[in-house]
Each structure stands twice: as structure tokens, then as C-alpha cells.
Amino acid sequence: MHSHLPGPGRRTPVSTYRLQLGSELTFADAEKALPYLDALGITDLYLSPVLQAAPGSTHGYDVVDHTRVSDVMGGRDGLERLAAAAHARGMGVVVDVVPNHMAVPTPAWHNRALWSALKHGHESPYAHWFDLDIAAGEGLLMPVLGARIGTVLAAGELVLDRAVVPGEGDEEQPVLRYYDHLFPVRPETEDLPLAELVGRQHYRLAYWRVADEELNYRRFFDVGTLAGIRVEDDDVFDATHALLLELFHAGVIDGFRIDHPDGLADPRGYLRRLHEATGGAWVVAEKILEEDEALPDDWPVAGTTGYDTAWRLHALQVDADGAAPLAGLMHEVTGEQAGLDDVIERAKRQIVETSLYAEIHLLTTMLADICREDVRLRDHTFRSLQDCVVELIVAFGRYRAYVVPGETAPAEAERVVRQAADVARSRLDPDRHDTLDLVVDLVLGREAGSAGRRDEERRAELVVRFPQVCGAVMAKGVEDTAYYRWTHLVSLCEVGGAPARFGVGPDELHAHARHTAESWPATMTAGSTHDTKRGEDVRSRIGAVSSHADAWVGLVRRLRAATSDVRPADLDGRTENLLWQTLAGTWTPDGPIEPERLAAYLVKASREQKAWTTWTAPDAVREDALVEYATGLLTHPEVGAGFDEWVAEVTPTVRRSVLATKLLQLTVPGVADVYQGTEVTGTSLVDPDNRRPVDLEGLATVLGSLDAGRTPVGLAEEKLALTAAALRLRRAHPGAFVGEDAGYEPLPMTTGRAVGFVRSDAAGPRVVVVATRLGDVPGLLEASVVLPEPAPGEVWRSVLTGDVGGAGAVRLGDLLGDWPVALLVAEAAGAGADGSAQGVGG
């Protein structure tokens, strides 16, 4: 059996449908949607986190109680009913798991483990759950105050109160109250004067800005309300996974998606533990791979959540010929002089100097402690160590290296660390080079200083902490800062993307697909996720700019001139270029995006840029001016006319990109995921915009009419018809897509403007996929593709057109008909179409 397929008796999904659960989409609501999802061809539900989350949570990643299924979603009974109804249809259930962190909720008692640690300190049975770095006599930092502690006390805003704490009996107990925040009072301190009482707690109440400089617990990136937990400890793993594993072994849950494994102390160790506990369940990890990075082969998982496929499929529809004119426009609008590498470097530096300074300081403190305790290392100063840590992390080209304390660092980990060190060395004063060498040895777990001191506890902790900080800086510096600043073509600036790659060709896609088929055949493929910065169709519309670059440059110049009288004088150039491309991505034949959604997106994007406004210091005046200008564009006569003409011009390119990207995502090697609502076209932007409710009932009605024979009208219905056709084929022939014998072979083509391949099972060729790419070019339909020989007695039938044919060279135009894509299935000659099983529409 393939090492990355689920174990014996464990389910492998063929396709998944992601549902964002919450108060507006409960387990009962999901149960009502099952007939539609079944009709669509989905084999497995893929649920957002189902455990009890913080009050008012809109996403579920802020878990407060691992022993309960979410009340607002319907509790355990609701989950079990949903699972039973799914299983009755032969559908499985995959659940999102959050092992890295828990919420620091308001009030704190919602997280009983945290409340106990705050109340009892090191005597709490939960104290070791959290990644703390607390010196003797120092409390766990709680940076929740709106002003410095002295000011808060003087104003009387912090008071000693009494409250009934859920889970701790019916009697009131003393608490410290700061507006909506409640904190426990250390039992023996209740009668002290308030200022002294505050200083005697097991926690330290502090001004919120203190967190970026003095935080003493590990958090999720720079989010102080999400505290890291030590899931590497056996009892913490057991306690936080007991309910999920109970539900798994009871047959309620069939597989797991693991959120942010790079935040864990030992990702491989965690995944091995989960693998053993489930007997090899289908598990995918949300691992963000850089362009040249491979998933560690020793991880016992089916693969990733699909970002690695998503960016390649989009880049396949990006025309490299558009790079130069769009670069010129970026320079014209933004004044951007730096290249992408420089933009990334500056963004990472800003992050390590601001929101993640506390993490950098903690690493430096660990290193300084190690050096102070070893006479041979004492001359490496705190300042020199910090300089080296900063440069090494800024130079790090991926989320992290994988080094386990006590083990020899893998060759790949050593290569990546030393590669970053070479860059760091070029940026450091020569006097720091010896210190850099020491830091490299220590983060790789190598012996340094006095002999025999390799395995000391502080050194082991450094090996763990360094890569965790690397990942946080990468996420916040690159994806959440640089990718909002780089506006060459913003659809390329995606989670796990490679914006420096302005387009990829069919050969590169084939190489990636073949590697996936050989090494990770049951990985997940994605188009959109809850984390993507734009929905797949928004990316397709923006990507079409690359095929019409000269026309786009002309349009932007005209509209900038036409709106110069209302454009703010201090409008940031990067924000403006992002704005124009966002309009291109969300302006459809039905018109522009809603003003409220555009405004919310632009404010978030601008704050993420961290240039002229930020989350911590918003410039309200400039933000308001941006919003007034941007929303005014939506009703500006010349802008409206210009974009209506633009949409008409690029519609064929957009249609090709939308349908080709979706078909390829559903048919390349891996388990195909459909994010809720993306079976039709949309205009979703970054969260929370992409978590808006989806009218599943309405989609079911449309699908039903297509199944009854109505021809799809418009791109949204064409996408739905195509999605259903591909998903139904997957379900009818799972062995061709995810089984151990699932094969992938490119098809010979006489044009680079199309890509084609055949998926096969143990019996031979089963499904043929052909998709065109980029803008219209003369002669494209005259190109040919060579179809493989189906099994004896079988013919190729087009699921989309109904045409039947055999093997050999076929004219592309004849194969496609009115579609920009083709989907063929091998079936017995004379079998005819079976709309209920495979095809949809007329």
C-alpha cells in the first residue's frame, strides 16, 4: 500500500465540500443541504471546527473547550444526527482540528483550563498546557487594558467584584473586573489593597501594547487572544483530542484536516500520534509550501490542503506577456522601485521590529541564557545574538525547517538554515559572523561551546521555538503584509502562492501533477478556502488582465484621469493599484460589488499593508477618504462605462479561466475540495467576506433544473454544470482519481494554449480532461490533441456535449464544441448519456 494513503479500513474521500459552520449554518442546516450535496456529486462533508469556541466566534478556530461540541451549531447530538444522515447516503465526514492554540476569551472563564492557570498558577493542573516563559515571581501577561496599569487603577476602571463562575459551583467568588473582562483572584489575596492585590496574582494585567514587547506565552502569530498550547505533551494531546477521537472511533467522524501544523513544537510527532490514534485515518495538513518545497515525506498524512495546486492552476491562466506592461503601470501608479524580494525583506523587518518583537526578544533571551551558562560562549553579547536572530529569520525563505531536539537535523533542514545564514552573513558586520555560526549550530541542535552540553533543556527549547517564530514572521511578514503591498498582479499574491512566477506552462503543471500522483495521491486540491485572499473567480478575473494588459493600462489611465478631481491627494499608490485590480476582479456583467463589501475589504487590506494605516494605529481620516473615493467609483458614469466595456472585452478570457481552473482543480491528482458556493461564480474577497451565507437551497433548485435538461444560462450555471459533471465522474470512477492505481498521463497537444491529460484506473484510461488557457489566439481551435485508446468495446463520450468518438488525433474545436474545456469518459459503445449519474444540462 502507498505510504501516504489511509490505513486498512479507513475511508478516503473522493471529493469534499467545505461548510463554514456557526450560528448561521448549524448541523441541522447542513443536514438539510445533504440532498443537494449528494446530487452535486460530493462524497464527503468537510466541516469547519466543531468544538466549543469563544462566545460570538465567526469561524471556530478560537476553541475554549475540547470536551464539548459547539452549542450554537447544535451540540454533539446535532453533529451525530448530521453524520448519521451523511453516512446513510454513503457520504463521509471530515472535521477541521485546531491543535495549536486555544482562545483567550472574554470573560476568561469560558476557557476553564486558562481560568485555572490564571487562578492557581503553577499549582494548576492546566498550567503546563500553555507555552509559558515565566520567570520566578512574574505572572502570565494578560495585555487587555486600554491604558497603562497605573492609569487604569487611578481611574477606578479595575475593580474587585464577585461573580458566579460557570463550572466552579453556585457560590460567588472574588474576581477582578475590567469592563467585560473578568479574572480570578488568587485565594489568599482577596483582602489586600487593590494595587497590591493586582500585583500578587498569577497573571499580570497590562496595557495591550505591552504584548508586542514583553509577551511571555506563545500565541498564534501576533494574535494575543489565541494562546499556544503544548499538544506535544501526552496528557495535553489526550485531553484536547479525546472527544474527537471518541467520535472518530464511534464512526461519527471519518477524517481530519489539521490547522496550522507549523505552529506546533513537533509537527511530525503530532501527526504520528494522530496517525497511531486513528489507525491511519485520512488526514491532511494545512502546510504552506514554498515553490521549491516538498512536504516532508516522513509525515504520516495524505498531503496538504491544496494551496500548492491552487496557485499553479491560477498561474496557468496568467499570460507572461502581460508582465512588462503591468510592471510599468505598477511603477506609474505606486512609484514602486523595489522588487518583490526587497518588499518582502522590508515587511519581515517591520514585523520583527513591531508586532513580533516579543518573540524575537524571547529567542534572544534563550540564546543569552545558553551563552551565560557556558564559559566558552560568554563573549557573545545579547545585542550580537539579537542581530543574528533577526537577520537569520528575515532571510528565511520558507515557513520553517524541521529539527527535533536530540535528533540529527535532516539534510534538508540543514540546507535551508545554512542558505538563510549565507544571506544573513552578507547583511551582518563581520564581527557578528562568529555569533551567527553559533546561532546556526544551536538552532540545528548541534554541539556548540563546551563538550557534552548539546541536550540541555534550554538548548532543546531553542530548537523548538526558533522554527515556530520563523513561521509566524513568514505568515505576518509575507502573506499578511508584503502580499498586500506588491501589486504587480494581485491575484498572484495568495496564501502559499509564488507572485514572482508570472505564469506557468502546461509542462510545469504536468510535472507537479505527476509528482503528486506518485507521492501524495490522496492529498487535497483546492480552488478557494476560508483563508484565501480572494475567491477563485476573483483571481480569474484579475488574471485576465494579464492577457489584455495593454487595454488594461489604457483603461486605468483613462479612469484615473476621469476621477482625478475626486481622488484624495494623499491616496496611497499601492492601495490605489490594488483598488483598480479589485474592481476588475469583482465587476461582472451584473455590475460592481456592493459598496459596503468593497469598503470593508479596502480598509482591511490597507491596514494589512501596514504603511499609511494599521490595525493598531488606524488613520481614520485617510481611511474615510479612501472609502469615499472607492465607493464613489462604483456609481461614477465614466468608471461604469469603462468597466462595462472592459467586462465585455474580457468575458471570453474570464469564462475560459473560470471553467478551466475549476475543471482542472477537480480532476488533477488528489481529493477535490469545493469551498461552499464555489460551484457557481462569485465575488468573494478575504475573510470575513468569504464566509457570507450561501443559498444552498437556491443552488439545489438550479441544479435540479439543469439535471432536467435545461441548458445552462450564463457562466455561473455553466460552472455549476461543469462542477457537477466532474464530481459525479469522480464518484462513479473513484479508482481513477484517488486510488492506489489512479494514473495521470499528459496528452500530446499541438498548442501550448491548452492542457490535457488522462486519468486511468486499474482497468485502463477512464477520463480525459482538456482545458484551454489564456486569451483568444488565431488558430487555437485548429490545434489537435491525441486521445488515448479506451478499453476494447469502449468509446469516449463528451460529458458536456454528448459527442462520441474514438482514439487518435482530434481537432480541438471539434472536441470542445461551445465550451472552452472538454471532459470525456470511457464507456461501453452505445451506452448513451446518463444525466442522473454523470452529465448535467443540455
Query: What are the CA-CA distances from residue 6 to residues 149, 277, 281, 731, 760 (Å)?
Result: 53, 13, 5, 18, 20
Residue 213 has a pLDDT of 84
Distance CA 27, CA 81 (A): 8
Confidence of residue 236 (pLDDT cuts 50, 70, 90): very high
Residue 834 has a pLDDT of 46
- Confirm if 711 and 842 have CB atoms less than 8 A apart: yes
Of 161-170, 247-256, 539-548, 600-609, the least confident: 161-170
Query: How many C-beta atoms lie closer than 10 Å to residue 635's C-beta?
Result: 10
Across the range 389-418, mean pLDDT stands at 96
- pLDDT digit string, tens, across residues 434-490: 999 999 999 999 999 888 777 788 999 999 999 999 999 999 999 999 999 999 999
Distance CA 569, CA 297 (A): 53
Q: Is the pLDDT of residue 841 over 90?
A: no
Across the range 648-667, mean pLDDT stands at 98
**If you search the block for the grid coordinates 464577585, which residue do you land on?**
162
* Angle, in degrees to the nearest 10, between helices 549-562 and 637-667: 150
Distance CA 222, CA 224 (A): 6
Q: Is the pLDDT of residue 840 over 60?
A: no
Distance CA 304, CA 296 (A): 11
Q: List, in order of start, the domains of the chain with CATH numbers.
A: 15-100+231-305 (3.20.20.80), 108-228 (3.30.1590.10), 313-336+500-653 (no CATH), 342-484 (no CATH), 695-828 (2.60.40.1180)
Residue 134 has a pLDDT of 54
Q: How far is CA 636 from the centre of its chain?
A: 35
Residue 836 has a pLDDT of 36
- Confirm if 488 and 327 have CB atoms less than 8 A apart: yes
Q: Is the pLDDT of residue 837 over 50?
A: no
Across the range 602-606, mean pLDDT stands at 98
Residue 232 has a pLDDT of 96
Q: Is the pLDDT of residue 772 over 50?
A: yes
Distance CA 86, CA 35 (A): 9
Handedness of CA 63, 67, 71, 75 (dihedral sign): positive
- pLDDT digit string, tens, across residues 109-141: 999 999 999 999 888 999 899 887 655 456 788
Distance CA 567, CA 582 (A): 17
Of 116-130, 215-229, 365-379, 563-577, the least confident: 215-229
Lookup: cell for 619: 488613520
Residue 334 has a pLDDT of 96
Residue 167 has a pLDDT of 86
Say which residue, 840 or 349, is predicted with more confidence. Answer: 349
Lookup: cell for 598: 468593497
Residue 727 has a pLDDT of 98
Distance CA 295, CA 670 (A): 14
Distance CA 574, CA 610 (A): 11
Distance CA 444, CA 455 (A): 12
Confidence of residue 214 (pLDDT cuts 50, 70, 90): confident
Residue 222 has a pLDDT of 73
Confidence of residue 839 (pLDDT cuts 50, 70, 90): very low
Average of per-residue pLDDT values in the chain:
94
Residue 137 has a pLDDT of 56
Residue 683 has a pLDDT of 98
- pLDDT digit string, tens, across residues 257-291: 999 999 999 999 999 999 999 999 999 999 999 99
Confidence of residue 520 (pLDDT cuts 50, 70, 90): very high
